[in-house]
Structure 1
Amino acid sequence: MSKANVELSIKGESIQSLYGYYLSDTFLVNRRYQRKLVWTLDEKRAFIDSVIKGYPVPLILLADIVSNDTRRLEIIDGMQRLNAIMSFIEQEFDVNNEYFNLDSIADTKLQMDDGKLTQKGIPMAREICANIARYQIPLSVFQEKGASHVDEVFRRLNANGRHLSKQELRQAGATSKFASVVRKISCSIRGDSSASDILNLSAMKNISITSKNLSYGINVDDVFWIKNNIITRESLRESNDEEIIADIVAWTSIGKSLRSSSDILNQLYGFEVDDSDSTLAQQVEVAIQKINEEQVALNVQLVFDKLISILDASGKTFNALLFEKQQAKISRYFQIVYLTLFELIVVQGKEISNMAGLVKALNKSGDKLIKLSQGGGVTGQQKKSNPLLKCWKAR
């Protein structure tokens, strides 16, 4: 192997050792490229069941990072698996109605004696838990050589698209102002935002998207997109909410509508470059720099807050407000309504003068007023619906 190649070590590490790393905050998560915690309770249980039965599990990839004489391990691939292991040990879910027996290993017994953990339900047999603790998880550890190095490893690992959705691959390691704004706004709306991009693995559970069967994190049914029936749970797992936000950020930054498509999104993230002197990604990046990254995010969030106040006043979800009968795949309708509000609130500087009238104008507008253009863009007529304009006044 030449010196140019990555220095790589592959070994097995017991779950007991990994839990020790977890307790000492050795594991790091970089949210610039790592997907959110999205495994369901069934997926976590299935993984632990594989461990119990001694089945082989996929390799976990880590980057060895040394800073100020402190060694940390950044998780490149395997965050969902590591979280499943740690959360099972710490009593967050059961397998076959039995919880990990805290008396079975020294670390958990000490945690229990210190009052940091409490044994739940029926404890699993100590022999089984001891076997779980001895189970060897395959690890591949490479020496980190800068942030761009880790980003490239992550991208290549997931380049075949089997592990990540298209949007997750676009966002993975992206450092543009556009990608940063999309990431921050998306996290804010989902409710899984964090003050820093770098977190300990133990902190991720507090901002994870969970089902009602898990007693921590953010209930998926409370997330704006799911609560308002704009996208499905599976679409949220695939980060389709970030695609909606990416379109909105691009449109509002450059002041014109674009065709909503996978190709356009690829261009916005610089994955596909056309022959023009100024690529779409460059146009959006320059526009965001002129406006200011923080101001772009504030403008987008302001309109979201206004839209939520309109929905609160209506007493309905977005889907129920726009349609007589619940519709599927309405993200484009959401974008049209959102951009209309953005034009009125941010561009024209108006405020709502008649909330009841506005709710009435929006009521069943998806059936009566809004027509999607074939290319997926937003037409001028759609942005200037007269019933909506009557409910606004200048600030």
Structure 2
Amino acid sequence: MISKNFHIVKVKDLYDKFTAGVLVVDESYQRRKVWNETDKIRLIETILIGYIVPSLYLWDAETNPTTGQTITHIVDGQQRVNAIVEFIEGEFSLLKSSLTQPDITGSYANKKFDELTKEEKVNIWSYNIPVVQLSEVDNVETIKSIFYRLNLTDYNLRAQEKRHSTSNGLFAELAIELSENEFWSNNNLFNAGDIKRMKDIEFCASLILLARDGIINQTTQRPLNNAYDDYKDVYKERDTDKIRILSWIDSLDKFINDKTIGFIQKKSQLYTMFTVIDHFERNEIEISDNIISNFTEFVKMYLDYRNEEVDNNDTIKIILNTYKLAVSEGINKLQNRMIRFNIMKKVLLQGISNIDIKDI
């Protein structure tokens, strides 16, 4: 039976342990920082006015037998701890627009920690945070399960974050490694919100599925969940799949220019380009200047196109309309993925003006 000890810890003690590296976040199951600046400011505001904040859940994971130093995991509450540490270290100010108490706005608006009065600083250092200390837990798997349960609702934790909190292993490690490739940040393919919610890792995990299984129906989380489980401990093709996906990334970079980047930044288009590049590489089709030109031409027509009444004899409009329908809803359905793949493949190889309508 897991034991729980309820007590309080002062911000000063919390800060010292966190900055000393003895109070830690285990990234093998914890999600990334999710709070935005407003969330952080409102936590600090709560502390300044002396209201109660939610409890932290802590677990003493290991003790150094020589020094007696204990490493404690933050099982739940890393967002709060990070916000407190960042404010004390001057990483953000209390923006007036984010404060909620009109009667104290004048005292704290736009101030950083160093700009507070001595009394206000002391109040923060001495603020008591409630803690639930977990004990009689002898393995991290149980802790992962507790973390998952504490964050069970979809509001708190997305599907990818749930996978991250309950799974590790070879498949998970490859998805994370791929997500750290500079290609994504260099081309702004995932925004800050995507990264915080691990959508970049989820997309890279989908690329691994593409490398392994080809284009599949992915309207539910089941394919990814199964892959995380199936390739957790044994993943013989890991290095091969990694090399293959890195090659796709190198090839996709050739298609990116000022005229096409907006198109490629859409996740459905990004995925479609990877499906076509995979086809090209498997069939040893070189990405020529002509193929790049065909793509740029298509993107311009696509971005300029508005849903119009389609003349049955106007092949270009039929192609554009069919493609747009395949990205308007059900973008992860196998049928719509295949429509986009087939159109894009023909566009790149032939040019949109040379496609026979019977081929669509």
Structure 2 distance, partners of 1:190, 1:125, is 45
CA distance in 1, matches of 2:6, 2:254: 53
Aligned to 2:157: 164
Q: Partner letter of residue 240 of structure 1?
A: K
SS at match of 1:181: helix
Q: Are residue 125 (structure 1) and residue 117 (structure 2) matched?
A: yes
Change over 3 Å in CA distance of 1:9–1:307 after alignment to 2 = same
2:18 corresponds to 1:22: yes
Aligned match for 1:249, one of 208, 233, 236: 208
Work out whether residues 321 and 362 of structure 1, in 8 Å CA contact, stay in contact via their aligned partners in 2: no
Aligned partner (choices 89, 100, 109) of residue 113 of structure 2:
100
Amino acid at match of 2:215: S
Supply the AA of the counterpart residue of 1:32. Answer: S
Distance 1:307 1:36, change over 3 A: same
Q: Displacement of 1:252 after TM fit?
A: 1.3
Task: Determine the C-alpha separation between the residues in 2 that align with 1:12 and 1:269.
Answer: 38
Percent of pairs with identical residues:
21
Identify which of 107, 122, 128 aligns with 1:136: 128
Task: Report Cα offsets for 1:309-330 as digits up to 9, x if no partner.
Answer: 421xx224532469xxxxxxx4
Residue 295 (structure 1) shift: 3.0
Relative to structure 1, the CA distance from residue 40 to residue 305 in structure 2 (aligned partners, 3 Å threshold; closer, same or farther) is farther
Over 3 Å counting, the alpha-carbon distance change for 1:68 and 1:233 in structure 2 is closer
Mapped contact 2:5–2:134 kept (Cα < 8 A): yes
Tell me which of 285, 288, 295 is aligned to 2:231.
285
Q: 1:12 aligns with which of 8, 13, 17?
A: 8
Aligned 1:367-386 pairs, distance under 5 A: 367=302, 368=319, 370=323, 372=326, 376-377=333-334, 378-379=337-338, 382-383=341-342, 385-386=345-346
Q: Secondary structure at the match of 1:268?
A: helix
Deviation at 1:180, TM superposition (A): 2.5
Q: How does 1:1-395 map to 2 (within 5 A)?
A: 5-69=1-65, 70-95=69-94, 96-101=109-114, 123-143=115-135, 144-188=137-181, 224=187, 227-228=188-189, 234-254=193-213, 256-261=214-219, 263=220, 265-270=221-226, 285=231, 289-291=235-237, 293-311=238-256, 314-316=257-259, 318-320=261-263, 330-345=266-281, 347-354=282-289, 357-365=291-299, 367=302, 368=319, 370=323, 372=326, 376-377=333-334, 378-379=337-338, 382-383=341-342, 385-389=345-349
1:308/1:80 CA distance change after superposition, 3 Å:
farther
Taking a change above 3 Å as real, the CA distance of residues 321 and 64 of structure 1, as seen in their structure-2 partners, is: closer
Q: Return the letter of the residue paired with 1:131.
A: N
CA separation of 1:351/1:146 partners in 2, compared to 1, >3 Å: closer, same or farther? farther
Flag the 1:125–1:259 CA change in 2: closer, same or farther, 3 A.
same
Per-residue deviation at 1:160?
Answer: 2.8
The AA in structure 2 aligned to 1:58 is: P
Contact persistence 2:58–2:134 (CA under 8 A): yes
- Please report how far the alpha carbon of residue 306 of structure 1 lies from its aligned counterpart in structure 2 after TM superposition: 2.8
Following TM superposition, by how much is the alpha carbon of 1:298 offset from its aligned partner in structure 2, in angstroms? 3.0
C-alpha displacement at 1:290, in angstroms?
Answer: 3.9
Q: How far is 1:358 from its partner? A: 1.0
Higher radius of gyration, 1 or 2: 2
Structure (1/2) with the larger helix percentage: 2
Distance in structure 2 (CA, Å) of the matches to 1:361 and 1:190: 20
Mapped partners of 1:88, 1:154: distance in 2: 25
- Runs of 4+ with deviation above 6 angstroms: none
Q: 2: distance between equivalents of 1:190 and 1:82?
A: 31
CA root-mean-square deviation: 3.1
Q: Is the 8 A contact 2:34 2:197 kept in 1?
A: no
- Report Cα offsets for 1:280-338 as digits up to 9, x if no partner: 767x639x8342x2332232233223323421xx224532469xxxxxxx422221111
Give the distance between the partners of 2:169 and 2:225, measured in 1 at CA: 8
